[in-house]
A = this chain, B = another copy of it.
Amino acid sequence: MNSFLRDLLGAFSDGRRWLADVTGRKSVTHDQLVELAEALLSGRGEASGVAIAQEVLRGYGTLTGEARTAFFATLAERFGPDRERLAAAAEGFLAADGPDAQAEAALQRASEPRRLELIRRLNLAPGGTAALVSMREDLLAVLRDRPDLHPVDADFQYLFTSWFNRGFLTLRRMDWDTPASILEKIIRYEAVHEIQGWDDLKRRIDMPDRRLYAFFHPALADEPLIFVQVALMDEMADAIAPVLATDRETVDGGHATTAIFYSISNTQVGLRGISFGNFLIKQVVEDLSREFPSLKTFATLSPVPGFRRWLDGEIAKGGEAVRALPRAADILPRLSGGDWIDDPAADKEMKPALQALASHYFLVARSPTGKVIDPVARFHLGNGARLERINWRADLSEKGRRQSHGLMVNYLYDLKDIERNHEIFANKGEVVAAPAIARHLKALSLRKTATAQE
């Protein structure tokens, strides 16, 4: 990129700050805000769009939580499509005999709610994108109690999907030369293995065998949207503590064979449902492959956040997995106690039992709607990864014990199999897993096992 671009995005970075600035300024009423929104959609908006958009966002920023929800309700009711025009278009389309591109296009245009254009025009304001992402965060917070606002959210999501298209995102490595203001956000946003201050962060980004990559969008230029942390290693990690240890030995990047993605965090609540992770992982796999030809294996070291809750449910209701577990009467009571995990003798009996139950959790168990239960598994399997290994005593933090009895898993990203894996998972709902996973399952006396990759 030529040097000319460096100031190209100056105008974008002040969205949140801007919203914050309005605190204490003259507030507006709901009706004034709606009036402004109507003005923005009118001819006045064409003449003075930037100024009016700014005023709407400023006014919104002065509203209380309840008033914001009321504004969303008005967006739902009053800023939908023009119903008469839509009805006419629908009738016109149905009346056509044979395909009629004209009628289809008319129907498409008529079905667009007015709030779509409203949101687009709000984006005229400096810092508008950040303010709109923040606005949707407010909306999501009340959505569970206000299903009538779903159409408003759908419109936000529709536009954000277009605006935050992967083609507009840039991958950036974060390192120790990154501005502190951005690194501070990395510390705050890390959601998987909490970053314990700046020293811990430095260990994760300023060592030759550690990397942190983030996606950025030009309109939110100082906000990482999602980031992934990578450890370059000489084997596939089977526990998190050695990865994060303060006194570990570093691996020479040129000799590393394995890249372990040990943490992936989304940062913007207001962008929920806009998918970045898939692209992020694949881009990082490609970039690392180019930089370190010695890398052969790309895998995650991932938590299993839903395992223990599922298992507790199975135990409570005497589910299939529990019934099929040999020596369940011995094992299950120990699980509810806390300290078996630190007992070396546990390896003999508890390890195979938990691995078998976890295999069942991944390969057999399904949610009421027929989906794989574990959200992290759904993400990686949906990306085309395969479930590679179930690691015993892999996360002994309080959180690790509480969520998954200390288990973690590896998902393997093998670029040549990704399409096939994805299709098996997406079309047949089958989990592609290494043979070892199916072998764990055999410890249970089940009638039928799931497919495993040979």
Contact = CB atoms under 8 A, between A and B. Distances in A.
Given A43-B423, A104-B81, A167-B129, A4 B1 contact: no
Nearest to A384: B47
A27 B154 CA distance: 40
A23 interface: no
A105 B151 CA distance: 7
B108 A167 contact: no
B9 A8 contact: yes
Interface string A118-131: 00100111101100
A170 B83 CA distance: 37
A218 interface: yes
B120 A101 contact: no
A273 interface: no
Interface residues of A, number: 95
A178 B182 CA distance: 10
Contacts of A107: 86, 90, 107, 111
Interface in A19-63: 43-44, 46-50
Given A47-B383, A107-B107, A101 B124 contact: no
A94 interface: yes
B222 A46 contact: no
Interface in A347-377: none
A230 interface: no
Contacts of A392: none
A3 interface: yes
A147 B167 CA distance: 30
Given A46-B426, A422-B43, A163 B162 contact: yes
A345 interface: no
Interface string A178-216: 111111100000000000011000100010000000001
Contacts of A93: 86-87, 90
A64 interface: no
Contact of A177 (B87, B177, B179): B179
Contacts of A1: 7, 9-10, 13, 221-222
B124 A166 contact: yes
A379 interface: no
Nearest to A148: B101
A130 B362 CA distance: 43
A219 B168 contact: yes
A76 interface: yes
Contact of A3 (B120, B166, B179, B197): B179
A207 to B, nearest CB: 13
A159 interface: yes
11 contacts: A5-B6, A5-B9, A8-B9, A8-B170, A44-B423, A49-B279, A76-B101, A94-B94, A101-B150, A167-B219, A178-B180
Interface of A: 1-13, 43-44, 46-50, 76-77, 80-81, 83, 86-87, 90-91, 93-94, 99, 101-102, 104-105, 107-108, 111-113, 120, 123-126, 128-129, 148, 150-151, 154, 159, 161-163, 165-168, 170-172, 176-184, 197-198, 202, 206, 216, 218-219, 221-222, 278-279, 282-283, 382-384, 418-419, 421-423, 426-427
7 A-B pairs closest in CB distance: A6-B6, A2-B177, A47-B422, A123-B167, A218-B218, A90-B90, A108-B111
